[in-house]
Amino acid sequence: MTSPPEHHATTVVIGASAGGLSAIGAVLSCLPRDYELAVIIVQHIPANAGDTLLRRFQRDCCLPVEEAEDKAPIKFGTVFVAPPDHHLMVEHNRHFSLSREERVNFSRPAIDILFETAAETFCTELVGVILTGASADGAVGLAKIHTMGGTSVVQSPETAEVDIMPRAALAACAVDHILPLAEIGPFLACLHPGPEASCKPIF
């Protein structure tokens, strides 16, 4: 399996669309009960989905799983899910922000919005993961994570239920790790938090 990044991470952001429920569930099921990082998820889902994601991921994961709330702080050792029909952003004080602004890449919540705002806040502490999906959402955001010194991970297209999203991400930047779905969860499980890293863009 590919080795985790040498620098310490504190936060993981995951984006998925078509086929994402089972893919995210497979990843979350690999995280141990004492996992110390924060995990923030955007899964494209209909506006009327209610708490479908919350209940599904609570079933798949032994960590606390919560729906992200406006102005709430990001807690480590917790999985957060973007609520349906709301963009999820990370503020510089490491709190969440929700909005009902225009759809991005035809989606609300949009992966790009989470990834870009998280990259500006967490910089080298951030790991971004793109999984299966049928749009290009997340490609720009993953490139931003890479630019800010974070770690970029993409599900290998041949293991994705729908390979459009992983291929778009691979075309957008020089991805650090291309992993089959079965290796992404164990890769994330090996990450450990450390001293806060500097917010310095890498070009």
Residues with catalytic function = 17, 44, 137
Helices assigned H by DSSP within 43-154: 52-60, 111-122, 139-147
119 in Cβ contact with 128 (< 8 Å): yes
Neighbours of 195 (CB within 10 A): 8
Torsion angle of C-alpha atoms 117, 145, 114, 180, degrees rounded to 10:
-170
What gap in Å lies between CA 79 and CA 43, rounded to an integer? 13
Task: List the structure tokens of 95.
Answer: 């709190």
How far is CA 169 from its chain centroid? 13
